[in-house]
């Protein structure tokens, strides 16, 4: 792979060059020259087929979300990434729960995502597994979400990102 800069002959060109080279134009104006890939005779494993299926779902999400969700365009502004790239990456990365702690009658959840934590849901269960209370936590400060605990019991916290990925914590 070669990067082409300031070459008047192929500046801004993209596509195939015969059956040997592929030229790709990046968002920052740099042209990439690479060998033509050869996929003849390739056999995919079950894991690869599964990933290809998930990637297809991701591209469907990214096509729609990159236009419908302005946060992707805002995050892409000023970078070489596009809103589509960010939406696709978001599809593949679930949010992360960094910590859950009781502080008096409050439950504080620290969570983050590569794009945005859309919501945090808290459920409180009794010993038999019945739901005693449930609701959405409210964002208090950056990555901290707060839920008022009115009853005691086993907790389950679910953190959702914009792409619908979920991280769960139980305790």
For 96-170, CATH number out of 3.40.718.10, 2.60.40.1220, 2.60.370.10, 3.20.20.70 equals 2.60.40.1220
Question: What SS3 state is found at 36?
Answer: coil
- Cβ atoms of 4 and 30 within 8 Å: the answer is yes
Q: Output phi, psi for 69, to 5 deg.
A: -110, 105
CATH 2.60.40.1220 residue window(s) in the chain: 96-170
Tokens (6 digits) for 19: 């059956």
pLDDT at position 17 is 77
Cα dihedral sign for 96, 75, 62, 116? Answer: positive
Strand order, beta sheet including 2-4: 2-4, 31-35, 21-25, 15-17
pLDDT at position 10 is 63
Residue 19, Cβ neighbours under 10 Å: how many? Answer: 7
pLDDT by residue, tens only, the chain of 171 residues: 556 666 666 666 677 878 888 888 887 777 888 888 888 889 999 999 999 999 999 999 999 999 999 999 999 999 999 999 999 999 999 999 999 999 999 999 999 999 999 999 999 999 999 999 999 999 998 899 999 999 999 999 999 999 999 999 998
- Cβ atoms of 109 and 145 within 8 Å: the answer is yes
Tokens (6 digits) for 168: 């769960």
């Amino acid at each position: 792979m070669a990067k082409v800069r300031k070459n008047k002959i192929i500046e801004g060109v993209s596509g195939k060059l015969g059956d040997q080279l592929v030229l790709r134009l990046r968002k920052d104006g740099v042209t990439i020259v690479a060998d033509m890939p050869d996929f003849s005779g390739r056999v995919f494993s079950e894991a690869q087929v599964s990933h290809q299926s998930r990637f297809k779902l991701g591209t469907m999400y990214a096509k729609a979300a990159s236009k419908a969700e302005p946060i992707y365009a805002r995050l892409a502004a000023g970078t070489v990434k596009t809103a589509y790239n960010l939406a696709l990456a978001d599809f593949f990365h679930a949010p992360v729960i960094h910590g859950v702690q009781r502080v008096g009658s409050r439950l504080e959840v620290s969570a983050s995502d590569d794009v945005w934590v859309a919501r945090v849901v808290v459920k409180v269960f009794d010993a038999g597994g019945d739901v005693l209370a449930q609701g959405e936590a409210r964002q208090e400060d950056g990555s901290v979400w707060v839920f008022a605990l009115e009853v005691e019991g086993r907790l389950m916290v679910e953190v959702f990102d914009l792409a619908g990925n979920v991280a769960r914590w139980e305790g």
